[in-house]
Amino acid sequence: MADLSLSLAVDSTPANNLTFGNKVFLSSGDFEVLWNNSPTGNTDRHSHNSKDTLVSVGDWVFTARIGLNRMQRRTANLALNTVIPVYPFPEKVGNITMVAINLMADLMVKGKGKPKQVDTSKLSDAFKVNFSHQVFTPNQVLAMTFEGSKLEIVVQSVEVATIDGREGQGFTSTHQNTHGMLNNQTDIGWTKPPGSMVNLEGQTGPGGQNIIFRADFDFAKLGIGGLGKEFSQIFRRAFASRIFNSAVVREMGISHVRGMLLYGPPGCGKTLIARQIGKVLNAREPKIVNGPEVLDKFVGGSEEKIRALFADAEKEQADQGEASMLHIVIFDEIDAICKTRGTVRDGTGVSDSVVNQLLSKIDGVDSLNNVLIIGMTNRKDMIDDALLRPGRLEVHVEIGLPDEAGRLQILQIHTRGMKERGRLDKETADNMEELSRLTKNFSGAEIEGLVKSAASYAFEREVDVKNLDQAPDPNNLVVRWKDFQSALCEVHPKFGADSQELETLYANGIVPYSQEFDEVQVTLGRLIEQTRLSERTPIMSVLLQGEAFSGKTALMAHAAVTSGFPFIRKIAADELIGMGEVSKAGYISRVFLDSYKSPLSIILIDDLERVIDFVRTGPRFSNTVLQTLLVLLKKPPPQGHRLLVMATTAVPYLLEELMLVQAFMVSLHVPQLQGGGSVKTVLRKLVPMSQADMDNIAAVITNPIGIKQLLMVTEMARTDEETVSCERFLECLHTSGYSVDSYAAAPQS
């Protein structure tokens, strides 16, 4: 292929007034050579006097030289007198029509005065007049005069579409190899660099929108999974209004959202969201503050730190007004500095002063419209109410536990590197959906911990602990499905169900010993399914009442474990030992609050009378704990969440006067073993015994007996022999305190 280039030496623009046309200057002879080398069909884009040109031809420059202005030389990194090859433009101009272009403008010479007010509508018209039918590419720099000021323009991105394409087939690009031709139909968007000396008024984006998001951002690349709904809410409430220019917002009679609060369980991505939001916005670098860092040992120091966070935003708003860029301040653990006023008894009043200072900065007399405050906490209840009202942190977004689809996204994010580099076997990659089902109530951080745990098993497999001097082979390092199965036994969710602890409550299994007992089991199963499926009863409460040792706790624990609910918590008297009344009430309240974070939850309350410190003498009980239970048993969980509360008591007749029994929606009586048939059913299941001995024992046990007491007597009567004798059993039965009407009569052999 013939060389179409012409070697020319770089020269400066012939005259200062020619700098602002975005043209290059050639001699007539050099241009004729290039013209003859150009592909057939190129449009003639040269002239001696027309503004509508790409190349100016005349006697301004000598032969073998090309005139470039300072910005053109700087963009191309060219020094004067450098010899460069110059080619004719190889592509037909008509095929690179530009749909939209985003430009960044600033004064060429920056002074210390106030920024120049620039109407973007007039600026766009002037730009089209000066540069119509010229070709632009991202990162191109050019000079322009406007209303007596010299502007430096930088092309941020272009959106192009081929002339034979269909509507909607254009694409936006920030790549330097993309170029397009400006025409009268091209939409022009404007922005400005940090510290700019121009204030842009009116439309600042194509079609009248502000460019608040970076042109190259992609939410899929942020490394955040399972939060699509939350991102949509954040965008709608906090950013949608900022896309429109200030004139439109004023016509609507509203102001921008100045603050949002992200709250939810630990490890669900609150801090990650706030950090990534700062990356995708075309705004100032976010200021990230850990709540406790604001506190200062000197008087007034904490308030001064709050004022310093807003100093840059105040200065820029005073200088540039509505054209000021967005300033983001992120408070991590905001509950540490914004507790409800009057609740901190430290004698200094610092906490209240910090809250007051923050309130005045966000929504005071001289409130700022160019700030966005993002607060994060897992204790929303501790934050002062004044800070949560509209005008302050008015957008409240709960970042809760991810659902199954969200867990799958998070797993894919954390295993993407393994998969791309061949470190994840095919079985594991195919079972990701199954793994997302097995990780119920796992937070994002816990899923990350699960992946790390699985990887640790792969590391261990390739390391020879007996010969640590031998280097492991990295090519064999692959995470397998069995590694994740082992990791599931090691990593447990904070808001999960501790099945192992609950299974110890019915270690001997459940023996259906009577029809009445079967009916209780069936009813419990129906109540569990009602809680799972019914939209009309988001909260269900059931009280299991019966004599001591009748198996109420075992039955309750078994029903909870077999339900498959992801969140199960137990409240028992042994967990409240050493706590005062207020601490007990707070503990119970936290258990209920935690349950609201799971879509399906079960709370077990064992021995109600012990939990409320009930004593017959007096009688005495903890009214604080009682009132807490009465309130929480009636309070429905948040929308979309279901809660089942199961409790046990051996003295329901004593709790009725406290209105505690009536607080439960359903009361079920757990029967004792009564009659020879029930006793023989249990003995046949638990111990090896001859039929004759079993009949004799059943004949003796005429009074009701709890299944736990019968089990205890059976274990007492066990010897090293395989069977249990009737005499030994009856002796242990008497020792346990059971009253036998006919015990004096010896059993017949």
d(CA 631, CA 141): 68
Determine if the pTM surpasses 0.75: no
Provide the Cα torsion 554, 556, 559, 564; round to 10°: -110
| Range with lowest mean pLDDT among 273-282, 453-462, 503-512, 740-749 | 740-749
Q: Which residue of the set 287, 419, 482, 708 is catalytic? A: 708
Angle of helix 676-686 versus helix 691-700 axis, rounded to 10 = 140
CA distance 596 to 642: 8
The separation between the first and the last C-alpha atoms of the chain, rounded to the nearest angstrom, is 117
CA distance 334 to 519: 51
What is the rounded average pLDDT of the residues 172-200? 75
What's the confidence (pLDDT) of residue 51? 41
Q: Which of 182-186, 231-235, 463-467, 661-665 has the lowest mean pLDDT?
A: 463-467
Is the pLDDT score of 106 beyond 80? yes
Say if residues 359 and 392 touch (Cβ distance below 8 Å).
yes
State the pLDDT at residue 189: 85
Neighbours of 335 (CB within 10 A): 20
Confidence of residue 539 (pLDDT cuts 50, 70, 90): very high
Highest mean pLDDT among 118-127, 194-203, 696-705, 740-749 belongs to: 118-127
Averaged over 672-701, what is the pLDDT? 80
Give the best-scoring range by mean pLDDT among 111-125, 527-541, 690-704: 527-541
Q: Name the pLDDT band for 45 (thresholds 50, 70, 90).
A: very low
Q: What is the 3-state secondary structure (H, E, C) of 400-432?
A: CCCCHHHHHHHHHHHHHHHHHCCCECHHHHHCH
Which segment of 208-212, 221-225, 294-298, 344-348 scores lowest on mean pLDDT?
208-212
H, E, C per residue of 466-518: CCCCCCCCHHHCCECHHHHHHHHHHCCCCCCECHHHHHHHHCCCCCCCCHHHH
Here the tokens at position 459 are 């590391």
319 is catalytic: no
Contact residues for 377 (Cβ-Cβ < 8 A; gap 6+): 261, 262, 263, 333, 334, 335, 383
Task: Output the pLDDT for position 199.
Answer: 78
Among residues 110, 315, 634, 685, the one annotated as catalytic is: 634
Q: Give me the catalytic one of 11, 30, 106, 606.
A: 606
User: Residue ranges of the domains in the chain?
Assistant: 6-90, 94-201, 219-393, 404-487, 499-669, 676-735
Which position has the higher pLDDT, 613 or 729?
613
Q: CATH topology of 219-393 equal to that of 499-669?
A: yes
- Confidence tier at 214 by pLDDT (50, 70, 90): low
Closest CA to 445 of 265, 263, 267: 267
Q: What does the pLDDT look like over 583-617, one tens digit per residue?
A: 999 999 999 998 998 889 999 999 999 999 999 88
pLDDT value for 343: 74
How large is the average pLDDT for residues 205-231? 63
pLDDT at 92: 59
Instruction: Give pLDDT tens digits for 139-164.
Output: 888 888 888 888 889 988 888 875 44
Range of 94-108, 230-244, 277-291, 503-517 with top mean pLDDT:
503-517
> Does the pLDDT at position 557 exceed 90?
yes
Residue 708 is a catalytic residue: yes
Q: Quick check: 656 pLDDT over 50?
A: yes
In this structure, of 50-64, 102-116, 266-280, 557-571, the range with the lowest mean pLDDT score is: 50-64
* Active-site residue identified among 204, 377, 553, 648: 553
368-416, pLDDT tens digit by residue?
Answer: 888 888 888 888 888 888 888 888 888 898 888 888 888 898 898 889 8
Q: What pLDDT score was predicted for residue 744?
A: 39
Among candidate residues 361, 440, 552, 597, the one labeled active-site is 552
Over residues 221-244, the pLDDT tens digits come to: 666 777 778 877 888 888 888 877
Q: pLDDT band for position 201 (50/70/90)?
A: confident
CA 537 to CA 642: how far, in whole Å? 8
- Residue of higher predicted confidence among 24 and 537: 537
User: Which position has the higher pLDDT, 709 or 112?
Assistant: 709
Query: Which pLDDT score is estimated for 227?
Result: 77
The CATH topology of domain 94-201 is Vcp-like ATPase; Chain A, domain 2 (3.10.330)
CATH 2.40.40.20 given to domain 6-90: yes
| 59-92 tens-digit pLDDT | 556 677 888 888 888 888 888 888 888 877 765 5
Give Dmax (Cα) for the chain: 137
What pLDDT, on a 0 to 100 scale, did the predictor assign at position 206? 56
Does 19 qualify as catalytic in the annotation? no
Instruction: Specify the pLDDT at position 720.
Output: 55
For range 274-295, the mean pLDDT: 77
Residue 469 annotated among the catalytic residues of the structure: no
When the pLDDT of each residue in the chain is averaged and rounded to a whole number, the result is 81
At 29, is the secondary structure helix, strand, or coil?
Answer: helix
Give yes or no for residue 659 having a pLDDT over 80: yes
- Residue 121: CB atoms within 10 Å: 14
- What pairs with residue 544 in β-bridges? 648, 668
Residue 606 appears among annotated catalytic residues = yes
- Banded pLDDT at 43 (limits 50, 70, 90): very low
CA–CA distance, 227 with 563 (Å, rounded to integer): 28
The highest-confidence range among 291-300, 305-314, 578-587, by mean pLDDT, is 578-587
> Is domain 219-393 classified as CATH 3.40.50.300?
yes
Q: Is the dihedral of CA 250, 252, 253, 259 positive or negative?
A: negative
Domain boundaries 499-669, CATH class: alpha beta
Are the beta carbons of 446 and 491 closer than 8 angstroms? yes
The listed CATH number (3.10.20.310, 2.30.42.10, 2.40.50.100, 1.10.8.60) that belongs to domain 404-487: 1.10.8.60
